[in-house]
Structure 1
Amino acid sequence: MTTRARTVTVTWPEANARRIGRQALSATPPASAAALPAAASGGRTPADVVGAMLGAHAQVLSAAELSVALRLPGAVRTDVREALWTERTLVKTFGPRGTVHLLPAAELPLWTGALSALPAGPGRLAPGARMTPGQTEEVLAAVADALTGAELTIDELSDAVIARTGPWAADPVVPGFQGMWPRWRQVLHLAGHRGVLCYGPDRGRKATYTNPGTTPLPGPEAVASLVGRYLRAYGPATPAHFAKWLATANGWANRLFAELAATGAIEEVTLEGAPAWVAAGDTDFSAAPALGVRLLPYFDAFTIASQPRERLFPGLASTRALGRGQAGNYPVLLVDGTVAGVWHQRRAGRRIAVTVEPLAPLTAVQLKDVAEQADRVAEILEGTAELTVGTVTVGPHA
């Protein structure tokens, strides 16, 4: 008779505290850490932090700089910029959900291998606007060729792609922010996922693109590795949580988790009475609760990837700090590992006005921590904070 091994039982506070710790968000940093070097936290670098986060959302680069630097005592936004543009240990490219992220340069083969292996979702464009598989491959080859050894603006890249493919690639059929973009633009993010495109340094006020010359890892190997990385950072989690993080199909994620479970790469636990998964052997959880106060910026990786969302955004936070169920629209106040408010910052020269709106009264100690956090935000942004505890009157993405 075979005896089934006992399933590990995990509570939400235990799971959340472990995620908080692995995200370097468990303790409030000192109000001023200017004397500390950027590598003060255990010798970690911006690339190490971004790797642990599984990418820093960088549609607004200043938010990514803040996300990374607040996890490194003593770091400021310049340290993140140097890692990106000087040391080149970070890469700005299209990451999870097709959105712009900072990713560790050393991990780009893994990311491109995994992201390019995701199942294609239903096309959002009208049938007449879509490209055939052959046209898609033709455009991707043109992008790779045009960007090899070059840094091109989007207009320059567009001219180069159309010249290498044909006038069909120029058809204005893709809805853009200020009109219609040429047909080929619908696969811009896919070029990033294939490893033939990433961002280069800005040229004045214009972004540029270049070819990082990445060879993606084989898809199955890369996807399996990414699942393990995700579960170590944000587990226990379900296939649906993983699929939501990547904006991919639940059915595909279910099959993937089943395959990995069969090989012993992941194992099942019970999270608050329901089945969930962790990386094999990663079943140690501390009973110590998450403590501390943090101000997290727009689209911080922790608020995006950590599930179930109703636990992280309980009660009033689910309506005040989420936008139609979507995390990241508001910078959030995190108290003891739970979203407990929103905040906003406005810059005028070196003065940074920080407004924090708690959703429940804070203790005197927590208010002191909020003030220290506002100072830390200003330090990262190389300014001086002026804190107001009150109502945030601006809307999302302000």
Structure 2
Amino acid sequence: MDRKQVMAYRIAAQGLHREAADPHELAVFDLGVQDNQRGGPAIALAARLSTPATTDDRFALLWSHRGAPHLHRRGDLKALVASLVPLSEADAEARMGWQRTQVARAGVPAAEALTVAARALHKAVGRTMTKGDSSTAVTKLVPDGFSLWCRRCGATHIFEQLMRLAAPLAGLELVPGATPATLTPMAQRGPVPVKPDVRAATAVMAAYLRLHGPATPGEAGGFSGTTATAAKEMWPSDLVEVRLDKKKRYLPADALPLLENPPEPDVVRLLPPSDPLLQARDRDLLVPEKAHQKEVWKILGNPGALLTDGEIAGVWRPKTAGNRLSITVRTFWPLSPDVRERVGQEAEVVAAARGLTLSKVDW
């Protein structure tokens, strides 16, 4: 397979041809839609739905993959939470991410630390509480080695990543749109799961491969915040091998017909910074030019991405003034007048998704 065919497949698999009318039907919710608190999910949905719609009480927001906030179908929460229990100590260490060294210094195995923190959160947060209050309460219940002094907060509190990973296991979700971040118990809150669920973890790998495939174990594991070795322990069995750039990649067998004959990716979309399409771990495939990658994925403050005819063709940034929205677009190459006109139409869609009126599009 070649790169253009894979891009066309992913655009179709992720619903960017706008064939669905109900957000609950969107395949991207098989993994969840990351929420960056800047209207990202609303814009991601607007890029995929045939009629204007928003998420409703069928969806829940929680820290899930990599400890990042994602919107998920409520009906998927039980399996999702089960999939977040590490399969091994190495898996748990990897999921600690940027704070794995601090957790290791506590002298407690990472998997045990996660269980201890989840049980403490389950006990400490029995009602709706801000993240700060939740952190203060749980810090009193965990071993001293699980917390540190935070200069910004002026207080000692539990490790950030440990709290994020433990919260869904403790049956806690986030209140959408709340500032500051606020935790609340799930309606169907059960005990803290401690036993790994290989089937649930495998379902996450399969969903990644279906939406971002063909892909490798390292790429699929990276989405979950773990290693290629751990990903292989939860690897689906019903896969086909695909060669792309002389590299072995994998795809669910029943998705092969769509990969072999995807619809033409003749869509123009303004995608939010954390859009599902941009969550793939093979950035060289999504955006081949290194200079363009630096424009799409920044250390802080990512812009949105402009998708045109199967390529990430530029970036965009919004600016609000009252209830009016202006959008500045920077392209990686010249666009035809027709495409520029369609970008203007998509800017109207973005404004409507955010409940604003479009003021102008600057190029």
Normalising by structure 1, what TM-score? 0.77
| Cα distance in structure 2, aligned partners of 1:137 and 1:25 | 39
Alignment of 1:15-94 (within 5 A): 15-26=6-17, 42-45=20-23, 47-49=24-26, 51-52=28-29, 54-75=31-52, 79-80=54-55, 83=56, 87=57, 89-94=58-63
> Residues 224-235 of structure 1: matches in 2 within 5 Å?
224-235=202-213
- Whether 1:271 and 2:244 are equivalent positions in the alignment is yes
Q: CA deviation at 1:161?
A: 2.7
Q: Which runs of 5+ in 2 are unaligned?
A: none
Instruction: State the 1:74 CA deviation.
Output: 2.9
Q: Aligned partners of 1:287, 1:158: CA distance in 2, in Å?
A: 47
Q: Distance in 2 between matches of 1:69 and 1:177?
A: 36
Give the % identical residues.
Answer: 24
Code of the residue aligned with 1:251 in structure 2: it is T
Aligned partner (choices 70, 78, 100) of residue 69 of structure 2? 100
1:174-201 per-residue CA deviation (whole Å, 9 max, x = no partner) reads 5575455413655211223425221136
Question: Radius of gyration: which is bigger?
Answer: 1
SS of 1:299's equivalent in the other structure is coil
User: What is the aligned partner in structure 1 of residue 287 from structure 2?
Assistant: 313
Cα separation, 2, equivalents of 1:155 and 1:389: 40
Secondary structure of 1:13 counterpart: helix
Aligned-partner Cα distance in 1 for 2:129–2:124: 8
**2:36 alignment partner, SS class:** coil
1:345-381 C-alpha deviation (Å, 9 max, x unpaired) = 1111121011111111110110111110111111111
When normalised by structure 2's length, the TM-score is 0.84
Give distance in 2, aligned partners of 1:356 and 1:95: 31
Residue of structure 2 in register with 1:7 after alignment? none
Q: Does 1:300 align with 2:275?
A: yes
Matches within 5 A, 1:1-398: 10-26=1-17, 42-45=20-23, 47-49=24-26, 51-52=28-29, 54-75=31-52, 79-80=54-55, 83=56, 87=57, 89-117=58-86, 119-121=91-93, 123-126=99-102, 130=106, 132-133=108-109, 136-148=114-126, 150-162=127-139, 165=141, 168=144, 173=148, 175=150, 178-179=153-154, 181-183=156-158, 185-200=160-175, 205-212=179-186, 213=189, 219-257=197-235, 260=236, 264-284=237-257, 285-286=260-261, 288-305=263-280, 308-315=282-289, 316-323=291-298, 329-390=302-363
Matched residues, number = 347
Distance 1:255 1:53, change over 3 A: closer
Contact 1:202/1:208, CA 8 A, preserved across alignment:
no
2: distance between equivalents of 1:386 and 1:73?
Answer: 23
Report if aligned partners of 1:109, 1:214 keep a CA contact under 8 Å in 2.
no
Q: Which one-letter code corresponds to 1:299 in the other structure? A: S
**Relative to 1, partners in 2 of residues 1:185 and 1:228: Cα closer, same or farther, differing over 3 Å?**
closer
Indicate how the Cα distance of structure 1 residues 140 and 282 shifts in structure 2: closer, same or farther if over 3 A, else same: same
Deviation at 1:155, TM superposition (A): 3.6
Residue 265 of structure 1 and its aligned partner are, at CA, apart by 2.3
SS at 2:175 equivalent = strand
Report the RMSD for the aligned CA atoms in angstroms.
2.9
